[in-house]
Amino acid sequence: MAGKDSFKEFKEHSVAEFFKKNRQMLGFSSRVRSLTTAVHEYVSNALDACEEAAILPEVSVQVDRLGDDHYLLRVRDNGPGIPPEIVPKVFGKLLAGTKFHRMIPTRGQQGIGAAGVTMFAQMTTGKPVHVRTSRGDGVIWEMDVMIDVKRNEPIVKNRRSYEGDWRGTEVTAEMKEVTYNRSKYSAYEYVRRTAIANPHAQITLTEPDGKRTVWYRTSFEPVHMAKEGKPHPLGITVDDLITLAHHVTKSRRVSSMLKNELEAFGDRAVKELEKLVGRAVLEKNPADLQWHEAEKIVAALKQMKFRSPSTDVLVSIGAEQIKKSLRANLKPRYVATVTRKPKVYSGGIPFLVEVGVAMDGEVKGFELVRYANRAPLLFEQGACAITQAVQSVDWKRYGISSLEESNTVIFVNVVSTHIPYVSAGKQAIADVPEVVSEIRHALMEAGRRIKEYTSKVSQLKELLAKKRILDHYLPELSTALARILDKNPEEVRAVLSQALEERYRRLRELEEKIGAGAEG
Amino acid sequence: MAGKDSFKEFKEHSVAEFFKKNRQMLGFSSRVRSLTTAVHEYVSNALDACEEAAILPEVSVQVDRLGDDHYLLRVRDNGPGIPPEIVPKVFGKLLAGTKFHRMIPTRGQQGIGAAGVTMFAQMTTGKPVHVRTSRGDGVIWEMDVMIDVKRNEPIVKNRRSYEGDWRGTEVTAEMKEVTYNRSKYSAYEYVRRTAIANPHAQITLTEPDGKRTVWYRTSFEPVHMAKEGKPHPLGITVDDLITLAHHVTKSRRVSSMLKNELEAFGDRAVKELEKLVGRAVLEKNPADLQWHEAEKIVAALKQMKFRSPSTDVLVSIGAEQIKKSLRANLKPRYVATVTRKPKVYSGGIPFLVEVGVAMDGEVKGFELVRYANRAPLLFEQGACAITQAVQSVDWKRYGISSLEESNTVIFVNVVSTHIPYVSAGKQAIADVPEVVSEIRHALMEAGRRIKEYTSKVSQLKELLAKKRILDHYLPELSTALARILDKNPEEVRAVLSQALEERYRRLRELEEKIGAGAEG
């Protein structure tokens, strides 16, 4: 569909060329955001690596200013290190990595992030990124990595190794067209929010002015990266089944393939399925499975009952830990937290939603704090399923007449083996109906708990208002009562006053009770 | 940065695998949106093709329902047709195309769209898309196209040709997990909005219930696709210059390269640049140009003066045509339109902003209608630079106390040789500072014109309110006046009434004047 001559211009392009031209899709748009994006990619990778190796993460982020809109970023972790032969592809080739195809809930998941930073660094400064890594085996490797954009292949220079006793990875990237500040879209805010959702990590940020901030860990349990999951029978699509059958499985029969490749699928399930689709299909060689047969199988699976997707796969922060973290970081008066059971969205992908609502106390104004697999989402709030879900809830029902005018922080973490991001910049979750609906339900569950608090608060307000009126009319009231009772007005007044004070005392007790207990 | 064993899992992936797993990034998320996305890709391609060949477009879109969430989409155009040897890559390979690398303001620009639909069709139905095309040379070609996702290469079946007198392209895609309705995110709305911004196109939509709607053309001038532009010296980056020098240019010297590859760069510019960077660099062979030298050149260019980027490259709708179209489609009482001069954003990419504001009359409520190169943007409104710019304007200044409560349609079209989309789904423009600022200025310019209208409206409202009060007090007033003047009250009342009617007539005149003339 183009003009007569335009087909002379028909060309193929590498994915690196695509993202170089569309760098904003990776989050390299404005100056502040570009720097935050680089920090995001490196810090996510560092935390993922530590968790896969069950190491308590220590991550240090250093930002140095080299000139106007010209910065040096260095991120170091105490992770397991990267084998030297893998380093070039990790940092120098897009769509290469360990996470893309595996069913584990990592922060990075695309095999784009770190190589994307390399591309941005080289297109703004012409320089490679510098990588230093060791697996703790006494050998430290260093090298410079760039990307050959036309071919999407790494270029390595200055590769060398030497002896040294250290384990971890350190990446240094020099970038232009970036800037550092402490706005709500800054690297500072990114690290602060990361700390809230990752209490097992110690993170140090050194800012361009030399100021050093350490977020110490408040949890000493290393987060174990879950064992890799299998697709759940209720979530699998026809296309998935065909891909499994034609490209993945080593099983000789469709029946054994289903048992080997799907979760919670045993002999009993095979028998039940046989009744629904017949024996012939299940006896087939997977390589010969046809689309219409796969369609029949998937339709039959939907009629069967299976246990829910395994919770093991999804690493949640946990309601208790969220509460602790929100209390420590925000000092609210009230916190309600909810961790929902895992669900599955289209394509058999398990996910789980956690919500925290912190109100009043030192919380001023309204803020929505979004996370995906415990990585903060700072940008594109308007495009995010989380925002959509928050807006869809009728908060009045839960005693919040206007979120915007209330003092509330809503914390939402979506955990999944594959977060459906709106774009490769990984800052907003797409409006997948199952995900939006589940976030909404989590918020409503939190809402029901909030209601106890908000109704006590409004009850208290009402009582205090009544007391104010009584206080105001106390002199007249005492005089009138004294006349009727034929008593001394001063005496009556003292009695009434005491009764009111007693009532006030009870109100204060109620207030304290709201502050301390009654948590959702 | 991953666990000891996880590197066994290190793999490389094709861009097709990436977008298959992240289909939501291409706009295939919810059921309604997925269908609209497919319509969007095919209709954009059809219009682009017609414009490149200077053909007045006739596009027909047909949606048939085959079952629950199961539809057939057919889009046919009268464009120039596609050479049969190119068809497989257009529909069966991502990142292949004619538009990605060229500086022309097409709707599609990524070489992903049509192949993305093929991928979605095959992953939900297992079926290829069917293509029928002819270049008007008496031969019609038909074939089925799928994608080999692992390799990102096309698979062609049932290829055949026969004689026939027709020119154009017709694509048919069968899809599941989609649905059709007439919501504001529907294919219907997409086509309707396309018609508003493309008055030179005739578009026919046949809905699943058989209802056929034709949007006839109101402009009979074919839109000529602009001649391809060159990068503007003020927008070029160091990386661009290095790429030009090392990979693109055939020039022997840096000086001649600049003259050949950049816009508005002649001998005078070469002489001026020589004074700033010295002769040696300009005499060099482009292949030997170093990063620091390119950096020097780019810094020097910023100090020089050049004529603005050529307007030829950017195909705007034009203020007059927007006004006509908004009047015809929305029947508002007042319309102000603005077409700004071209600007350049980072990377030397020219762009232009057009704005229309339509108020009152049959316009009910507030709506923001966004376009990029005349293709409607229906989704991800919250993430779009256009939305950000609209929200940043202080509309009170222009007599609109609250946009949300006013009856206003804001129409914005961003024209560029490369729209910086947030994601490959092409539904929101990224917050590139230059682009946001330019949209904002266009809106403010429209705002200043609106003010004349809004202040007349409020003046009128005030006068009408005064008249109502006088009407109300007329009997009492007449009696009082009659007593003072010693006249017959009935007589006085008649005179007063006549005076008021006269005044009312003038108000009505003013009202008509507001309706018809005084357009911005």
The answer to whether the Cβ–Cβ distance between A86 and B10 falls below 8 Å is yes
Identify whether the C-beta of residue B98 lies closer than 8 Å to the C-beta of residue A2. Answer: yes
8 Å CB contact between A414 and A371: yes
User: Quick one: A270 and A340 in the same domain?
Assistant: no
Q: Residue B517 pLDDT more than 50?
A: no
Distance in angstroms (rounded) separating the CA atoms of residues A370 and A165: 39
Which is nearest to B352 in space by CA: B369, B323, B374, B326? B374
Q: Do A13 and B95 touch (CB under 8 A)?
A: yes
Interchain proximity B80–A2, CB inside 8 Å: yes
The confidence band for B293, taking pLDDT boundaries of 50, 70 and 90, is very high
Q: What contacts 24+ positions apart, CB below 8 Å, involve A483-486?
A: none
Spatial distance between the Cα atoms of A480 and A474, rounded to a whole number of angstroms = 10
DSSP letters spanning B451-509: HHHHHHHHHHHHHHHHHHHHHHHHHHHHHHHHHHHT--HHHHHHHHHHHHHHHHHHHHH
Lowest-confidence segment of A107-116, A276-285, B287-296 by average pLDDT:
A107-116
Cβ pair A421:B79 closer than 8 A: no
Q: How far off is chain B from A42, nearest CA to CA, in Å?
A: 9
On the question of pLDDT at B4 being above 60, the answer is no
User: Alpha carbon of A31 to those of A37, A121, A178, A191, B21: distances in Å?
Assistant: 10, 13, 4, 17, 30
Q: Which amino acid belongs to residue A159?
A: R
Under the banding of pLDDT at 50, 70 and 90, the label for residue B6 is low
* Phi, psi of A308, deg, nearest 5: -60, 160
Compare A63 and B486 and report the one with higher pLDDT.
A63
H helix or E strand, kind and range, residue B170: strand B167-176
pLDDT band at A4 (very low <50, low <70, confident <90, very high): very low
Which of B29, B54, B99 is opposite residue A430, by nearest beta carbon?
B29
Candidates B1, B125, B378, B386, partner chain A, best to mutate (most A CBs within 10 A): B1
Which CATH number fits the domain that encloses residue A339?
A: 3.30.230.10
A5 pLDDT tier (thresholds 50, 70, 90): low
Please report the pLDDT score of residue B331 as a whole number. Answer: 92
Q: What is the pTM of this model?
A: 0.84
Q: Are A141 and A185 in contact (CB under 8 A)?
A: no
Q: CATH number, domain at B156?
A: 3.30.565.10
Q: How far apart are CA B190 and CA B442, in angstroms?
A: 24
| Model pLDDT, residue A125 | 95
The answer to whether position A273 is within a domain reads yes
> What token pair was written down for A20?
């170089």
> Quick check: helix, strand or coil at residue A5?
coil
Q: How far is A351 from chain B (nearest CA, A)?
A: 15
Closest partner CB to B11 (pick from A101, A135, A346):
A101
Full domain range(s) for residue A118 = 15-215
Domain boundary among A303, A326, A357: A303
Name which residue leads in pLDDT, A216 or B230.
A216
In a domain, B296, yes or no: yes
Q: Is residue A222 part of a domain?
A: no
Nearest chain A residue to B44 by CA: give it.
A1
Calculate how close chain B gets to A461, using CA atoms only, in Å.
Answer: 32
Query: Picking from A157-161, A285-289, B17-21, B363-367, which range would have the lowest pLDDT averaged per residue?
Result: B17-21
Angle subtended by helix axes B187-197 and B319-330, to nearest 10 = 140
On whether both B320 and B391 belong to a single domain, the answer is yes
Arithmetic mean of pLDDT, A468-472: 76
Q: What is the pLDDT of residue A455?
A: 86
Q: B480 or A328, which is more confident?
A: A328
Provide the pLDDT for residue B30: 87
Distance from CA of A429 to the nearest CA of B (A): 9
Euclidean distance between CA atoms A336 and A326, whole angstroms: 10
Residues B105 and B32 occupy one common structural domain: yes
- Whether residues A423 and B418 touch (CB distance < 8 A) is answered with no
Rounded to whole angstroms, how far apart are CA atoms A228 and A263? 11
Q: How confident is the model over B140-153, as pLDDT tens digits? A: 999 999 999 999 99
Report the pLDDT value the prediction gives residue A1, as an integer from 0 to 100: 39
pLDDT grade for B368, boundaries at 50, 70 and 90: very high
A441 with A492, same domain? yes
Whether residues B101 and A225 touch (CB distance < 8 A) is answered with no
Domain end position, chosen among B215, B246, B266: B215
Using CA atoms, how far apart are residues A135 and B138, in angstroms rounded to an integer? 67
For residues A96 and A127, membership in a common domain is answered with yes
User: pLDDT exceeding 70 applies to what percent of chain A?
Assistant: 92
A356 and A450 housed in the same domain: yes
Contact yes or no for B239 and A12 at CB 8 A: no
C-alpha dist (Å) from residue B93 to A242, A458, B116, B145: 20, 61, 9, 10
Q: Are residues A270 and A416 in the same domain?
A: no
The pairing of strands A96-97 and B11-12 is antiparallel
In the prediction, which pLDDT does B109 show? 67
A288 and A257 belong to one structural domain: yes
What mean pLDDT do residues A127-144 have?
97
Average pLDDT over residues B155-174: 97
State residue A3's pLDDT score: 40
* Residue B198, pLDDT above cutoff 50: yes
In angstroms, rounded to a whole number, what is the distance separating the alpha carbons of residues A189 and A43? Answer: 13
Instruction: Judge if A288 and A349 occupy the same domain.
Output: no
Residue A103 in any domain: the answer is yes
* Same domain membership, residue B282 and residue B317: no
Kindly give, in sequence order, each residue whose CB lies less than 8 Å from that of residue B67, ignoring residues fewer than 6 positions away: none
**Least confident interval from A345-359, B62-76, B395-409:** A345-359
**Subunit contact B30:A110, Cβ cutoff 8 A:** no
pLDDT at A500: 76
Domain for residue B404, yes or no? yes
pLDDT of residue B515: 56
Look at residues A244, A317, A330, A325 and name the one whose alpha carbon lies nearest to residue A287: A244
Last residue of a domain, one of A253, A269, A303: A303
Residue B242, domain CATH: 1.10.8
B406 compared with B230, residue with greater pLDDT: B406
Tell me the two tokens of residue A309. 């997707």
Considering only CB atoms, B430 lies closest to which of A29, A77, A150, namely A29
pLDDT exceeds 80 at position A411:
yes
Does the residue B337 lie in any domain? yes
Enter the tokens of residue B359: 């108020």
Higher pLDDT pick, B176 / B482: B176
B315 vs B267, more confident: B267
By C-alpha distance, which of B90, B96, B348 is closest to A18?
A: B96
Pair B408, B464 in one domain: yes
pLDDT value at A338 more than 50? yes
Indicate the number of domains in chain B: 3
DSSP string, A105-147: --S--SS-HHHHHHHHHHHHHS--EEEEEEESSSEEEEEEEEE
Q: State whether A169 and B428 contact (CB < 8 Å).
A: no
Residue B397 CB contacts under 8 Å (≥ 6 apart), including other chains: B447, B451
A452 contacts A518 by C-beta, under 8 angstroms:
yes
Q: Is residue A20 part of a domain?
A: yes
Highest mean pLDDT among B1-10, B173-182, B461-470, B471-480: B173-182
The token pair that represents B35 in the structure block: 């269908």
Is B10 part of any domain? no
Averaged confidence pLDDT in chain A? 88
pLDDT score recorded for residue B218: 84
Q: Which residue has the tokens 């404005």?
A: A30
pLDDT of residue B3: 40
Q: Identify whether residues A364 and A504 lie together within a single domain.
A: yes
Place of tokens 């917050």: B431
